[in-house]
Homo-oligomer: A and B are copies of this chain.
Amino acid sequence: MAEGSDDIQALIALMARLPGLGPRSARRVVLHLIRKRSGQMTQLARLLESVATSSRECLTCGNITDRDTCAICADPARANGEICVVEDVADLWALERGHAFRGRYHILGGTLSALDEIGPEDLGIPALIDRIRRDNIREVILALNATVEGQTTAHYILDALPDSNVTVTGLAQGVPIGGELDYLDDGTISAALRARRRF
């Protein structure tokens, strides 16, 4: 037992399985927490316990929340006529950090996949169609990943949408702000060139 106690070893092993960490970073984090006598470890334990107990999915949009309806769905200041469809909660968080969208969301929780037997129901697509009809949505933004799976799913939703006056849009593709051409993949450069615009 090199690492101090059974609990320390178990803690390192558990942390090492977290995404982006590994045995080496897990050991560093645990040592750091043990050294900090300021109670950071206890605070972390308390927050993990609280989040584990209270986190659930918003019944309307699928966002992670500690209530039936998430803060975004409940916010009266946000536009009701726009739904932004994303694959994942992480995408919603990223868009919110951008402060560019002030409407509502729908989180699919994945993409369609015949191989993994993920169908439209698993992604809440029928519920999304209902919501678009019921809430008089004017614009649906399909903010799905620019991957084959993301785009296949976007096209499925496009076809499934009711024939109405709802506008369906997608995110623009191009060079990221601050992006150096040299570091971009070829697909992005081609897409940015095709979508070129006048100054």
Residues of A within 8 A of B (CB): 1-5, 7-8, 10-11, 14-15, 18-21, 25, 27-34, 39-55, 63-66, 70-71, 89-90, 92-93, 96-97
Contacts and interface: CB of A to CB of B under 8 A. Distances in A.
Contacts of A48: 11, 33, 41-42, 44-45, 48
A51 B30 contact: yes
A92 B55 CA distance: 39
A4 B65 contact: yes
A4 B44 contact: no
A40 B54 contact: no
Chain A facing B: main interface SS: helix
Contact of A66 (B7, B30, B96): B7
Contact of A11 (B3, B5, B39, B51): B51
A54 B7 contact: yes
A45 B41 contact: no
Contacts of A46: 45, 49
8 contacts: A1-B71, A4-B64, A5-B64, A30-B51, A42-B52, A44-B48, A45-B49, A45-B52
